[in-house]
Structure 1
């Protein structure tokens, strides 16, 4: 987007130290145990993405999901705010023989979709970079990128535990999920996420999705701190 107002959120500054060079991106990719080619291929099949579909992957990261959509015959737009992520993803796509994919340096608030409306928009583990006000703006923009009846899939750190139990729930999450240094996301990584990023409650996300014109077809609380939504665009 051009000519943004002075009050507009600068999401391009949200690319953290993990994403400043390709070596750090490679280390990040190794930690992404929920985003293996096999798991992303299963998600592509589950969503029904196939030949002729157009898919926008917002916060595409190292490109694993976008690559799998193209291997299923779809056309993918892989969108990320990090130059290093995109460079790494391009290299992966080339090695995988995934040619039907365009890469864009942008984010939820700045990506301009200028081609035909998409059949699917997908975002995984990325929306939490935005405060809640800007999540709502992102949902409105996503709706405008989708065909009527198109589908939006969201998975992220989203809290479904009772708000009054926040302290116990966050501590349990970190204790259960944290790995030793070099083996995955550490306790310090999770602590930083809660302290500095913008994960929010499921009831807030669900209200915003509905306000943006989405019908929530499916919701799964994968854990008290992780949720996924499959939505249909009715706007």
Structure 2
């Protein structure tokens, strides 16, 4: 399906969401490598969609959709699926995936802060491995925007690098995470170091306060590792 530009104007003092943060993913080769490093798996996408109750007719928005795997799988099961991303290269990769699989999601060149959803309230809004690209002040604005896209009672899903360890353990926890990187054939040690140094992952208790202030109630939380978290929330 053709891509649309659904951005609303932002003031000049707004965060530059379209500028690269951390690892450079500006080329087609880098995006393809990212897709592999993320471990893209249609079966895993379908399992998540099942958990979130996404079926035919569900209106789903995936913010910072990246290479589009979740959006494509949602569209294949008949959902009204919208993929939103600031990266032209990511959207090109996502569009090619949709074409190969005969799926027709809606694609939008836009970001967390400037995406203006016009297709009616969403049942589900998701974002995975992307909110850390915004500093905390702008994370809060992004979450307010995401919540506003949802119908009352709608589901917000978040997976990201989120720190649940005690601040006193920061050096040891992050060094262990970096030292263990690259053992699964995915991202490299340098990628992890860049993430910690240049990107904006935050503590779980900080993020949870932001979710609540955005009008979202945390339904479930999981911390499979001290460096990662998953939240399922409902719009109040």
TM-score (norm 1): 0.94
Counterpart of 2:221 in 1: which secondary structure? Answer: strand
Tell me: CA distance 1:17–1:155, structure 2 relative to 1, closer, same or farther (3 Å): closer
Which structure: greater helix fraction? 1
- Contact 1:56-1:77 within 8 A present in 2 as well: yes
Give the aligned CA root-mean-square deviation in angstroms.
1.4
Following superposition, the deviation at residue 4 of structure 1 comes to 2.2
Report whether the alignment pairs 1:129 with 2:139. Answer: no
List alignment gaps of at least 5 residues for structure 2.
1-6
For residue 144 of structure 1, the aligned residue among 123, 148, 154 is: 148
Moved over 3 A (4+): 15-18
Output the CA distance in 2 between the equivalents of 1:4 and 1:231. Answer: 27
Greater mean alpha carbon deviation, residues 140-149 or residues 169-178: 169-178
Following superposition, the deviation at residue 56 of structure 1 comes to 0.3
- Contact 2:85-2:91 within 8 A present in 1 as well: yes
Deviations 1:118-177 (A, max 9, x none): 000000000000000000001110111000110000000000000110000001111223
Work out the number of aligned pairs and report it.
230
- Contact 1:178-1:184 within 8 A present in 2 as well: yes
Counterpart of 2:19 in 1: which secondary structure? Answer: helix
Report whether the alignment pairs 1:55 with 2:60. Answer: yes
For residue 106 of structure 1, the aligned residue among 83, 103, 110 is: 110
Report whether the alignment pairs 1:96 with 2:101. Answer: yes
Tell me: CA distance 1:190–1:146, structure 2 relative to 1, closer, same or farther (3 Å): same
TM-score (norm 2): 0.94
Q: How does 1:140-219 map to 2 (within 5 A)?
A: 140-179=144-183, 183-219=185-221
- Contact 1:18-1:28 within 8 A present in 2 as well: no
Following superposition, the deviation at residue 17 of structure 1 comes to 6.0
Output the CA distance in 2 between the equivalents of 1:107 and 1:2. Answer: 10
List alignment gaps of at least 5 residues for structure 1.
none
